[in-house]
Amino acid sequence: MELYNTLTRKKEALKPVKKGVVGFYSCGPTVYNYAHIGNLRTYVFADTLQRALEYEGYKVKRVMNITDVGHLTSDADSGEDKFEKAAALSQKSPQEIAKFYTQAFLRDIKELNIKKPKIIVPATKTIKEQIAIIKKLVAKGYAYQTSLAVYFEVAKFKNYGQLSGQSLSEKLTAARDDVVEDEEKKNVADFALWFKLAGRHQKHIMHWSSPWGEGFPGWHIECSAISSKYLGQPFDIHTGGVDHIGTHHTNEIAQSEAATGKPLARVWMHGEFLLIDSNKMAKSEGNFITLQTLKDKGFSPLDYRYLCLTAHYRSRLNFFWESLAAARNAYENLARLIVESQAEKRVSKKTAFKSLTNKFQASVIDDLDLPGALAVLWEAVKSQNLSGKDKIKLVKDFDKILGLELLKAVQAKAAIPSAVLSIAKKRQVLREQKKFAEADKLRLELAKKGYEVKDSSGGGFSLLRIK
Protein backbone atom coordinates (compact mmCIF):
# COMPACT_ATOMS: atom_id res chain seq x y z
CA MET A 1 0.00 0.00 0.00
CA GLU A 2 1.39 3.42 -0.95
CA LEU A 3 0.66 6.25 1.46
CA TYR A 4 1.62 9.91 1.29
CA ASN A 5 3.95 10.73 4.16
CA THR A 6 3.92 14.39 5.20
CA LEU A 7 7.33 13.88 6.79
CA THR A 8 9.07 12.90 3.56
CA ARG A 9 6.61 14.64 1.21
CA LYS A 10 6.17 11.60 -0.98
CA LYS A 11 4.16 8.45 -1.37
CA GLU A 12 5.86 5.49 0.27
CA ALA A 13 5.16 1.78 0.39
CA LEU A 14 3.92 0.88 3.86
CA LYS A 15 6.38 -1.31 5.75
CA PRO A 16 5.08 -1.94 9.27
CA VAL A 17 7.54 -2.21 12.14
CA LYS A 18 6.01 -5.57 13.00
CA LYS A 19 5.10 -7.71 10.00
CA GLY A 20 1.35 -7.83 9.36
CA VAL A 21 0.43 -5.44 12.20
CA VAL A 22 -0.07 -1.70 11.90
CA GLY A 23 0.28 0.50 14.97
CA PHE A 24 -1.97 3.46 14.22
CA TYR A 25 -2.48 6.59 16.33
CA SER A 26 -5.03 9.34 15.64
CA CYS A 27 -5.25 12.63 17.45
CA GLY A 28 -8.70 12.69 18.96
CA PRO A 29 -11.17 15.47 19.67
CA THR A 30 -10.92 18.30 22.16
CA VAL A 31 -14.18 17.66 23.95
CA TYR A 32 -15.23 21.11 25.15
CA ASN A 33 -17.92 21.42 22.48
CA TYR A 34 -19.65 19.28 19.85
CA ALA A 35 -17.48 18.02 17.01
CA HIS A 36 -18.29 19.84 13.78
CA ILE A 37 -18.59 18.13 10.44
CA GLY A 38 -15.04 19.33 9.56
CA ASN A 39 -13.63 17.43 12.55
CA LEU A 40 -15.78 14.49 11.55
CA ARG A 41 -14.36 14.54 8.03
CA THR A 42 -10.94 13.89 9.57
CA TYR A 43 -12.34 10.92 11.52
CA VAL A 44 -14.05 9.51 8.43
CA PHE A 45 -10.64 9.70 6.73
CA ALA A 46 -8.92 7.84 9.60
CA ASP A 47 -11.72 5.27 9.65
CA THR A 48 -11.44 4.54 5.94
CA LEU A 49 -7.69 4.22 6.37
CA GLN A 50 -8.16 1.64 9.13
CA ARG A 51 -10.70 -0.24 7.00
CA ALA A 52 -8.39 -0.15 3.99
CA LEU A 53 -5.50 -1.54 6.03
CA GLU A 54 -7.75 -4.33 7.31
CA TYR A 55 -8.96 -4.99 3.77
CA GLU A 56 -5.33 -5.39 2.74
CA GLY A 57 -4.92 -8.03 5.43
CA TYR A 58 -3.20 -6.07 8.19
CA LYS A 59 -4.15 -6.36 11.81
CA VAL A 60 -4.65 -2.79 12.98
CA LYS A 61 -3.90 -1.66 16.51
CA ARG A 62 -5.61 1.69 16.72
CA VAL A 63 -5.25 4.21 19.53
CA MET A 64 -6.87 7.60 19.95
CA ASN A 65 -6.64 10.21 22.69
CA ILE A 66 -9.40 12.43 24.00
CA THR A 67 -8.15 15.89 24.90
CA ASP A 68 -9.83 16.83 28.18
CA VAL A 69 -7.26 19.24 29.64
CA GLY A 70 -4.51 21.63 28.60
CA HIS A 71 -5.62 22.72 25.10
CA LEU A 72 -5.49 26.49 25.31
CA THR A 73 -7.63 28.84 23.25
CA SER A 74 -4.60 29.33 21.04
CA ASP A 75 -2.77 26.21 19.81
CA ALA A 76 0.36 27.88 21.20
CA ASP A 77 0.76 28.76 24.87
CA SER A 78 -1.44 31.80 25.21
CA GLY A 79 -5.04 32.05 26.32
CA GLU A 80 -7.16 30.01 28.68
CA ASP A 81 -7.69 26.28 28.86
CA LYS A 82 -10.72 25.58 26.66
CA PHE A 83 -12.25 23.40 29.37
CA GLU A 84 -11.93 25.91 32.17
CA LYS A 85 -13.44 28.55 29.88
CA ALA A 86 -16.39 26.34 28.88
CA ALA A 87 -16.87 25.36 32.54
CA ALA A 88 -16.99 28.98 33.67
CA LEU A 89 -19.56 29.81 30.98
CA SER A 90 -21.83 26.88 31.75
CA GLN A 91 -21.42 26.61 35.54
CA LYS A 92 -20.39 22.99 35.11
CA SER A 93 -17.12 21.37 36.09
CA PRO A 94 -14.50 20.86 33.36
CA GLN A 95 -14.86 17.11 33.96
CA GLU A 96 -18.63 17.27 33.36
CA ILE A 97 -18.05 19.23 30.15
CA ALA A 98 -15.51 16.67 28.91
CA LYS A 99 -17.76 13.72 29.78
CA PHE A 100 -20.79 15.21 28.06
CA TYR A 101 -18.98 16.03 24.81
CA THR A 102 -17.06 12.75 24.77
CA GLN A 103 -20.37 10.93 24.75
CA ALA A 104 -21.69 13.23 22.03
CA PHE A 105 -18.56 12.51 19.96
CA LEU A 106 -18.93 8.75 20.37
CA ARG A 107 -22.57 8.99 19.24
CA ASP A 108 -21.53 11.02 16.20
CA ILE A 109 -18.89 8.56 15.08
CA LYS A 110 -21.26 5.64 15.56
CA GLU A 111 -23.86 7.31 13.36
CA LEU A 112 -21.22 7.90 10.70
CA ASN A 113 -20.38 4.19 10.83
CA ILE A 114 -16.86 5.02 12.00
CA LYS A 115 -15.31 2.06 13.78
CA LYS A 116 -14.55 3.03 17.34
CA PRO A 117 -10.78 2.77 17.95
CA LYS A 118 -10.20 -0.12 20.37
CA ILE A 119 -8.10 2.02 22.67
CA ILE A 120 -9.44 5.48 23.50
CA VAL A 121 -7.63 7.31 26.29
CA PRO A 122 -8.47 10.67 27.90
CA ALA A 123 -5.42 12.87 28.54
CA THR A 124 -6.29 13.12 32.24
CA LYS A 125 -5.82 9.34 32.61
CA THR A 126 -2.12 9.44 31.68
CA ILE A 127 -0.75 12.32 33.74
CA LYS A 128 1.84 10.01 35.33
CA GLU A 129 3.21 8.97 31.91
CA GLN A 130 3.25 12.58 30.71
CA ILE A 131 5.22 13.68 33.77
CA ALA A 132 7.70 10.83 33.16
CA ILE A 133 8.48 12.15 29.65
CA ILE A 134 8.85 15.72 30.90
CA LYS A 135 11.24 14.53 33.62
CA LYS A 136 13.39 12.86 30.95
CA LEU A 137 13.40 16.04 28.87
CA VAL A 138 14.48 18.12 31.86
CA ALA A 139 17.19 15.60 32.73
CA LYS A 140 18.51 15.61 29.15
CA GLY A 141 18.60 19.40 29.02
CA TYR A 142 15.81 19.82 26.45
CA ALA A 143 13.44 21.50 28.91
CA TYR A 144 13.67 24.37 31.39
CA GLN A 145 11.51 25.93 34.04
CA THR A 146 10.26 29.46 34.53
CA SER A 147 8.04 30.65 37.33
CA LEU A 148 4.99 29.91 35.17
CA ALA A 149 5.75 26.69 33.29
CA VAL A 150 8.16 24.04 32.07
CA TYR A 151 9.08 24.57 28.41
CA PHE A 152 10.64 22.53 25.64
CA GLU A 153 13.56 24.47 24.19
CA VAL A 154 13.08 24.11 20.45
CA ALA A 155 16.54 25.41 19.53
CA LYS A 156 18.01 22.32 21.20
CA PHE A 157 16.20 19.94 18.86
CA LYS A 158 17.97 19.67 15.53
CA ASN A 159 15.11 18.61 13.25
CA TYR A 160 12.44 20.81 14.73
CA GLY A 161 10.89 21.97 11.44
CA GLN A 162 11.15 18.70 9.53
CA LEU A 163 7.43 17.91 9.43
CA SER A 164 6.23 21.37 8.46
CA GLY A 165 9.19 22.20 6.24
CA GLN A 166 9.53 25.42 8.22
CA SER A 167 12.99 26.35 9.53
CA LEU A 168 13.31 27.57 13.08
CA SER A 169 13.99 31.12 11.91
CA GLU A 170 10.85 31.05 9.73
CA LYS A 171 8.90 29.73 12.70
CA LEU A 172 10.26 32.55 14.83
CA THR A 173 9.25 35.15 12.28
CA ALA A 174 5.78 33.62 12.12
CA ALA A 175 5.54 33.55 15.91
CA ARG A 176 6.70 37.17 16.27
CA ASP A 177 3.16 38.46 16.70
CA ASP A 178 2.06 35.70 19.08
CA VAL A 179 1.05 36.86 22.54
CA VAL A 180 3.89 35.91 24.85
CA GLU A 181 2.46 35.52 28.31
CA ASP A 182 5.72 34.49 29.95
CA GLU A 183 8.61 36.95 29.75
CA GLU A 184 11.01 34.33 31.11
CA LYS A 185 10.58 32.13 28.06
CA LYS A 186 13.94 31.80 26.27
CA ASN A 187 12.43 31.76 22.81
CA VAL A 188 8.87 32.55 21.65
CA ALA A 189 8.70 29.23 19.80
CA ASP A 190 9.42 27.20 22.98
CA PHE A 191 6.29 25.35 23.97
CA ALA A 192 4.83 24.38 27.32
CA LEU A 193 5.12 20.86 28.63
CA TRP A 194 3.67 21.68 32.04
CA PHE A 195 1.79 24.73 33.32
CA LYS A 196 2.13 25.66 36.96
CA LEU A 197 -0.74 27.00 39.02
CA ALA A 198 0.57 30.50 38.52
CA GLY A 199 -0.18 33.64 36.55
CA ARG A 200 -3.24 33.23 34.33
CA HIS A 201 -3.61 29.63 35.44
CA GLN A 202 -3.48 30.32 39.18
CA LYS A 203 -7.05 29.14 39.68
CA HIS A 204 -7.00 26.27 37.19
CA ILE A 205 -9.54 23.75 38.53
CA MET A 206 -7.88 20.59 37.21
CA HIS A 207 -4.40 20.12 38.62
CA TRP A 208 -1.97 17.41 39.65
CA SER A 209 1.24 17.37 41.64
CA SER A 210 4.53 17.13 39.79
CA PRO A 211 8.25 17.72 40.40
CA TRP A 212 7.57 21.32 39.29
CA GLY A 213 4.69 21.88 41.69
CA GLU A 214 0.92 21.62 41.22
CA GLY A 215 -0.17 22.16 37.67
CA PHE A 216 -1.46 20.61 34.46
CA PRO A 217 0.10 19.33 31.23
CA GLY A 218 0.47 21.30 28.01
CA TRP A 219 -1.62 20.01 25.11
CA HIS A 220 1.00 18.16 23.04
CA ILE A 221 2.53 15.91 25.68
CA GLU A 222 -0.62 13.73 26.04
CA CYS A 223 -0.25 12.39 22.50
CA SER A 224 3.42 11.53 23.06
CA ALA A 225 2.55 9.71 26.28
CA ILE A 226 -0.54 7.86 25.01
CA SER A 227 0.91 6.79 21.66
CA SER A 228 4.14 5.38 23.09
CA LYS A 229 2.37 3.73 26.04
CA TYR A 230 0.11 1.66 23.79
CA LEU A 231 2.09 1.40 20.55
CA GLY A 232 5.73 1.69 21.51
CA GLN A 233 8.12 3.86 19.53
CA PRO A 234 8.35 4.11 16.59
CA PHE A 235 4.88 3.06 15.53
CA ASP A 236 3.58 2.98 11.97
CA ILE A 237 0.99 5.63 11.20
CA HIS A 238 0.00 8.87 12.88
CA THR A 239 -3.01 10.86 11.60
CA GLY A 240 -4.66 14.21 12.22
CA GLY A 241 -5.90 17.25 10.33
CA VAL A 242 -3.49 19.50 8.39
CA ASP A 243 -3.76 22.18 11.07
CA HIS A 244 -1.75 19.89 13.33
CA ILE A 245 1.33 19.86 11.11
CA GLY A 246 2.97 23.14 12.13
CA THR A 247 2.48 23.06 15.89
CA HIS A 248 0.89 20.04 17.54
CA HIS A 249 2.58 17.29 15.54
CA THR A 250 5.85 19.18 15.21
CA ASN A 251 5.91 19.45 19.01
CA GLU A 252 4.87 15.82 19.52
CA ILE A 253 7.82 14.72 17.38
CA ALA A 254 10.29 17.02 19.14
CA GLN A 255 9.41 15.95 22.67
CA SER A 256 9.07 12.20 21.95
CA GLU A 257 12.21 11.94 19.90
CA ALA A 258 14.27 14.09 22.26
CA ALA A 259 13.14 11.98 25.22
CA THR A 260 13.85 8.58 23.69
CA GLY A 261 16.29 9.17 20.85
CA LYS A 262 13.93 7.22 18.58
CA PRO A 263 11.54 8.41 15.85
CA LEU A 264 7.93 8.76 17.03
CA ALA A 265 6.05 7.51 13.98
CA ARG A 266 7.05 6.38 10.51
CA VAL A 267 4.22 7.73 8.39
CA TRP A 268 2.44 11.01 9.15
CA MET A 269 -0.85 11.46 7.33
CA HIS A 270 -3.01 14.57 7.35
CA GLY A 271 -6.57 15.11 6.27
CA GLU A 272 -7.33 18.38 4.49
CA PHE A 273 -9.91 20.84 5.71
CA LEU A 274 -13.59 21.02 5.23
CA LEU A 275 -14.23 24.63 4.26
CA ILE A 276 -17.30 26.72 4.60
CA ASP A 277 -17.61 29.94 2.60
CA SER A 278 -13.96 29.32 1.63
CA ASN A 279 -12.82 29.42 5.27
CA LYS A 280 -11.77 26.61 7.58
CA MET A 281 -14.74 25.34 9.56
CA ALA A 282 -13.72 25.83 13.19
CA LYS A 283 -15.30 25.67 16.61
CA SER A 284 -13.49 28.85 17.57
CA GLU A 285 -14.81 30.70 14.48
CA GLY A 286 -18.43 29.88 15.31
CA ASN A 287 -19.01 29.00 11.62
CA PHE A 288 -19.53 25.35 12.28
CA ILE A 289 -22.20 22.82 11.47
CA THR A 290 -22.77 19.73 13.59
CA LEU A 291 -24.10 16.33 12.61
CA GLN A 292 -27.30 17.20 14.47
CA THR A 293 -27.84 20.22 12.19
CA LEU A 294 -27.58 17.90 9.18
CA LYS A 295 -30.11 15.52 10.72
CA ASP A 296 -32.45 18.40 11.57
CA LYS A 297 -32.41 19.28 7.89
CA GLY A 298 -33.44 15.78 6.94
CA PHE A 299 -30.06 14.31 5.98
CA SER A 300 -28.75 11.05 7.28
CA PRO A 301 -25.19 10.89 8.68
CA LEU A 302 -24.36 8.43 5.90
CA ASP A 303 -25.30 11.03 3.28
CA TYR A 304 -22.46 13.07 4.79
CA ARG A 305 -20.13 10.06 4.82
CA TYR A 306 -20.88 9.61 1.10
CA LEU A 307 -20.02 13.28 0.52
CA CYS A 308 -16.68 12.83 2.31
CA LEU A 309 -15.85 9.87 0.09
CA THR A 310 -16.29 11.95 -3.04
CA ALA A 311 -13.16 14.01 -2.24
CA HIS A 312 -9.63 12.69 -1.72
CA TYR A 313 -8.51 13.15 1.88
CA ARG A 314 -5.65 15.41 0.74
CA SER A 315 -8.01 17.77 -1.09
CA ARG A 316 -9.95 20.53 0.52
CA LEU A 317 -13.68 20.08 0.44
CA ASN A 318 -15.96 23.09 0.27
CA PHE A 319 -19.19 22.42 2.07
CA PHE A 320 -22.41 23.40 0.30
CA TRP A 321 -25.90 22.21 1.20
CA GLU A 322 -26.40 21.54 -2.52
CA SER A 323 -23.46 19.15 -2.59
CA LEU A 324 -24.83 17.32 0.43
CA ALA A 325 -28.19 17.03 -1.34
CA ALA A 326 -26.42 15.70 -4.43
CA ALA A 327 -24.55 13.18 -2.26
CA ARG A 328 -27.85 12.00 -0.75
CA ASN A 329 -29.30 11.67 -4.18
CA ALA A 330 -26.35 9.67 -5.45
CA TYR A 331 -26.43 7.44 -2.37
CA GLU A 332 -30.15 6.75 -2.82
CA ASN A 333 -29.76 6.09 -6.51
CA LEU A 334 -26.95 3.70 -5.77
CA ALA A 335 -29.12 1.77 -3.32
CA ARG A 336 -31.96 1.69 -5.84
CA LEU A 337 -29.72 0.42 -8.61
CA ILE A 338 -28.49 -2.32 -6.32
CA VAL A 339 -32.07 -3.36 -5.48
CA GLU A 340 -32.88 -3.49 -9.18
CA SER A 341 -29.75 -5.42 -10.04
CA GLN A 342 -30.76 -8.22 -7.70
CA ALA A 343 -33.30 -9.31 -10.28
CA GLU A 344 -30.76 -9.40 -13.13
CA LYS A 345 -30.49 -12.94 -14.39
CA ARG A 346 -27.55 -12.61 -16.80
CA VAL A 347 -24.42 -14.70 -16.27
CA SER A 348 -21.24 -12.82 -15.38
CA LYS A 349 -18.58 -12.51 -18.05
CA LYS A 350 -15.52 -14.41 -16.95
CA THR A 351 -13.05 -11.63 -16.20
CA ALA A 352 -15.53 -8.90 -15.21
CA PHE A 353 -15.64 -9.67 -11.50
CA LYS A 354 -11.90 -9.96 -11.07
CA SER A 355 -11.07 -6.91 -13.12
CA LEU A 356 -13.43 -4.71 -11.05
CA THR A 357 -12.00 -6.07 -7.80
CA ASN A 358 -8.49 -5.31 -9.04
CA LYS A 359 -9.46 -1.84 -10.13
CA PHE A 360 -11.08 -1.10 -6.78
CA GLN A 361 -8.05 -2.35 -4.91
CA ALA A 362 -5.67 -0.38 -7.13
CA SER A 363 -7.48 2.82 -6.12
CA VAL A 364 -7.43 1.94 -2.44
CA ILE A 365 -3.73 1.17 -2.29
CA ASP A 366 -2.87 4.32 -4.21
CA ASP A 367 -2.81 6.60 -1.17
CA LEU A 368 -6.43 5.82 -0.33
CA ASP A 369 -8.03 7.11 -3.51
CA LEU A 370 -11.62 6.68 -2.39
CA PRO A 371 -13.23 8.87 -5.04
CA GLY A 372 -11.62 6.42 -7.48
CA ALA A 373 -12.87 3.45 -5.46
CA LEU A 374 -16.39 4.90 -5.38
CA ALA A 375 -16.32 5.26 -9.15
CA VAL A 376 -15.46 1.55 -9.44
CA LEU A 377 -18.44 0.72 -7.23
CA TRP A 378 -20.73 2.63 -9.60
CA GLU A 379 -19.15 0.90 -12.56
CA ALA A 380 -19.83 -2.47 -10.93
CA VAL A 381 -23.44 -1.69 -10.12
CA LYS A 382 -24.15 -0.45 -13.65
CA SER A 383 -22.17 -3.20 -15.36
CA GLN A 384 -23.79 -5.20 -18.17
CA ASN A 385 -21.18 -7.92 -17.69
CA LEU A 386 -22.08 -9.05 -14.18
CA SER A 387 -24.89 -11.12 -12.74
CA GLY A 388 -27.05 -9.58 -10.00
CA LYS A 389 -25.55 -12.00 -7.53
CA ASP A 390 -21.99 -11.01 -8.35
CA LYS A 391 -22.90 -7.34 -8.12
CA ILE A 392 -24.15 -7.87 -4.58
CA LYS A 393 -20.95 -9.73 -3.74
CA LEU A 394 -18.85 -6.80 -4.96
CA VAL A 395 -20.99 -4.24 -3.16
CA LYS A 396 -20.57 -6.17 0.06
CA ASP A 397 -16.83 -6.39 -0.44
CA PHE A 398 -16.27 -2.74 -1.41
CA ASP A 399 -18.45 -1.53 1.43
CA LYS A 400 -15.98 -3.00 3.91
CA ILE A 401 -13.91 0.12 3.19
CA LEU A 402 -16.52 2.64 2.11
CA GLY A 403 -18.65 1.88 5.17
CA LEU A 404 -21.88 3.12 3.61
CA GLU A 405 -23.98 0.25 4.98
CA LEU A 406 -25.11 -0.32 1.41
CA LEU A 407 -26.73 -3.67 2.02
CA LYS A 408 -28.79 -2.24 4.87
CA ALA A 409 -29.83 0.64 2.64
CA VAL A 410 -30.75 -1.90 0.01
CA GLN A 411 -32.80 -3.94 2.44
CA ALA A 412 -34.72 -0.80 3.40
CA LYS A 413 -35.39 -0.10 -0.27
CA ALA A 414 -36.17 -3.71 -1.03
CA ALA A 415 -38.83 -3.69 1.65
CA ILE A 416 -40.83 -1.37 -0.63
CA PRO A 417 -43.16 -3.49 -2.82
CA SER A 418 -42.14 -3.46 -6.47
CA ALA A 419 -45.61 -2.22 -7.52
CA VAL A 420 -45.13 0.87 -5.35
CA LEU A 421 -41.62 1.40 -6.70
CA SER A 422 -42.79 1.16 -10.27
CA ILE A 423 -45.55 3.79 -9.73
CA ALA A 424 -42.97 6.07 -8.16
CA LYS A 425 -40.68 5.61 -11.14
CA LYS A 426 -43.51 6.31 -13.61
CA ARG A 427 -44.23 9.46 -11.68
CA GLN A 428 -40.60 10.49 -11.88
CA VAL A 429 -40.63 10.09 -15.66
CA LEU A 430 -43.82 12.20 -15.88
CA ARG A 431 -42.16 14.90 -13.80
CA GLU A 432 -39.14 14.88 -16.08
CA GLN A 433 -41.56 15.40 -18.98
CA LYS A 434 -43.12 18.23 -16.97
CA LYS A 435 -46.49 16.43 -16.91
CA PHE A 436 -47.10 17.56 -13.37
CA ALA A 437 -50.89 17.00 -13.22
CA GLU A 438 -50.48 13.33 -14.18
CA ALA A 439 -47.56 13.00 -11.80
CA ASP A 440 -49.70 14.33 -8.97
CA LYS A 441 -52.31 11.65 -9.63
CA LEU A 442 -49.64 9.04 -9.08
CA ARG A 443 -48.56 10.79 -5.87
CA LEU A 444 -52.15 10.27 -4.61
CA GLU A 445 -52.08 6.66 -5.72
CA LEU A 446 -48.87 6.13 -3.75
CA ALA A 447 -50.41 7.79 -0.69
CA LYS A 448 -53.37 5.39 -0.92
CA LYS A 449 -50.89 2.52 -0.89
CA GLY A 450 -49.30 4.01 2.24
CA TYR A 451 -46.24 5.78 0.80
CA GLU A 452 -45.22 9.40 0.66
CA VAL A 453 -42.88 10.29 -2.14
CA LYS A 454 -40.22 12.94 -1.56
CA ASP A 455 -38.37 14.51 -4.47
CA SER A 456 -34.76 15.41 -4.12
CA SER A 457 -33.11 18.33 -5.86
CA GLY A 458 -31.03 16.19 -8.23
CA GLY A 459 -34.13 14.57 -9.79
CA GLY A 460 -34.27 11.46 -7.61
CA PHE A 461 -36.88 10.48 -5.05
CA SER A 462 -37.31 8.62 -1.83
CA LEU A 463 -40.32 6.76 -0.46
CA LEU A 464 -41.49 6.99 3.10
CA ARG A 465 -43.99 4.60 4.61
CA ILE A 466 -46.84 6.63 6.12
CA LYS A 467 -49.27 3.92 7.21
Among 108, 153, 181, 243, binds ligand AMP (CB under 6 A): 243
If we measure between CA atoms, which residue out of 340, 304, 324 comes closest to residue 457? 324
Q: Is 283 annotated as a binding residue?
A: yes
What does the per-residue mask of binding to ligand AMP show for 33-72, with x meaning CB under 6 A?
-----xx-xx------------------------x-----
Mark the segment that binds Zn ion (CB under 5 A) among 26-34, 74-82, 375-383, 428-436: 26-34
How many Cβ atoms from other residues are within 10 Å of residue 386's Cβ? 24
Q: Could you say whether residue 241 binds ligand AMP (CB under 6 A)?
A: yes
Min. distance of Cβ 232 from ligand AMP in angstroms? 22
Strand order in 143-145's β-sheet?
143-145, 149-152, 191-196, 215-217
d(CA 309, CA 403): 10
Q: Among Zn ion, ligand AMP, none, what does residue 241 contact (CB within 5–8 Å per kind)?
A: ligand AMP
Cβ contact 142:152 at 8 Å? yes
Q: Is 248 annotated as a binding residue?
A: yes
Rounded to the nearest 10 degrees, how much is the dihedral formed by the CA atoms of 428, 432, 438, 442? Answer: 10
Q: Among Zn ion, ligand AMP, none, what does residue 329 contact (CB within 5–8 Å per kind)?
A: none
Among 274, 309, 335, 410, binds ligand AMP (CB under 6 A): 274
In a 3-state reduction of DSSP, which class is residue 12? strand
Min. distance of Cβ 124 from Zn ion in angstroms? 15
Mark the segment that binds ligand AMP (CB under 6 A) among 162-170, 238-246, 297-305, 372-380: 238-246
Q: Could you say whether residue 27 binds Zn ion (CB under 5 A)?
A: yes
How many Cβ atoms from other residues are within 10 Å of residue 54's Cβ? 16
β-pair partners for 132: none
Q: Which of residues 190-249 bind Zn ion (CB under 5 A)?
A: 223
Q: Could you say whether residue 247 binds ligand AMP (CB under 6 A)?
A: no
If we measure between CA atoms, which residue out of 310, 297, 435 comes closest to residue 370? 310
CA distances from 49 to 223, 311, 386 (A): 20, 14, 28
Q: Is 270 annotated as a binding residue?
A: no
β-pair partners for 241: 271
Q: Among Zn ion, ligand AMP, none, what does residue 340 contact (CB within 5–8 Å per kind)?
A: none
* Residues within the interface to Zn ion (CB under 5 A): 27, 223
* Residues within the interface to ligand AMP (CB under 6 A): 27, 29-30, 38-39, 41-42, 67, 240-241, 243-244, 271, 273-274, 280-282
